Amino acid sequence: MQAEAGASLNAAAAPSAGRDETSSDSGADATPPSPTTDETAEQPSRSNRLIAVLIGIAVVTYAIDQLSKAWVVANLQMGEPHPIVGEFFQLRRAANPGAAFSIATNATWLLTIIAIVVIGCTIWAARKLRSRGWAAALGLLIGGALGNLTDRFFRAPGGGKGHVIDMFQLPNWPIFNVADVWIVSAAVLICLLAFRGIGIDGTRVSDDKDKDTDEHATRSEPARTDDAER
C-alpha cells in the first residue's frame, strides 16, 4: 500500500516538475544577453574614432574654404567676372552680408547668432555619434558654418556683421562660396540618413522595430507553453 501511494505521488509530481523546468527555461530565454566586456569597451573606442573623423573633415573643409576666399581676395577684383565654362560657370568676387546663396542680406547679426547656435548644437549632438555617415555630415556642417562665421567676425565691417566672400556664379542662381557647398552637402546627407532611418547613434528604425517584435514574442512564449501543457 505505501509503495503504491509513493508511486502515485511521484507520478503526480512529475508533470509539475516538468512545467517548472519549462517555465524556468523560458524565463531564461526571455532575459536578453548582457553585453560582453569587449562590446562595452568597443563602444567608446568607436565613438572616439568617429569624432576624430568628424574633426578631420571639419578642419579640412574649413581650410579649403578659407584658402579659396584668400585666393579670391588676392587675385580677383570686386564684381569682375572670370569665365571658367563660358558664361555657364564663372568666378566673380562678391561680398555677401546674408546667408548662403545671398539669403537674408539684412539680417547679418541674426545669421551670426544662428551659425553659433548651429555649431554648438552640432558639437553637443556629436556626443552620441556612432555612425560614419553622420560623422561626415556633421563635419561638413561644422566646417562650412565655421568658414562663413569667420568672415562675419574678421572681414569688413567685422564685429559679427562682416560680409562673407562669395565667388561661384551660375546662370539665374545666387552667387555662393565653398562653405555654402559644404553646408548644402551636409543637409543633403542628413536627409538621406534620415530617409534610411539611420540615427546619429548608428541605430536603424527598422532594427528597433524588429527588436521590439522579438522581445514581445519572447515574453509571450512561456504563456503559450504553459497553456499547451495544461
Prediction pTM value: 0.70
**From its phi and psi, is residue 104 left (phi > 0), alpha (psi between -120 and 50) or beta?**
left
224 belongs to a structural domain: no
Q: Write the single-letter amino acid at 98.
A: G
- The set of catalytic residues is 166, 180
Q: pLDDT tens digits for 57-86?
A: 999 999 999 999 999 999 999 999 999 998
143 belongs to a structural domain: yes
Domain of residue 93, residue span: 43-204
DSSP for 144-166? HHHHHHHHHHHSTT-TT-PPEEE
- What percent of the chain clears pLDDT 70, i.e. is strictly above it? 65
3 belongs to a structural domain: no
Number of domains in the chain: 1
Beta strands in the chain (DSSP E): 81-85, 89-96, 164-170, 173-176
**Over residues 166-188, mean pLDDT:** 94
185 belongs to a structural domain: yes
pLDDT of the residue at 115: 85
Q: Which residues contact 81 (CB under 8 A, 6 or more apart)?
A: 90, 91, 92, 169
Q: pLDDT tens digits for 17-63?
A: 444 444 444 444 445 555 555 555 556 677 889 999 999 999 999 99
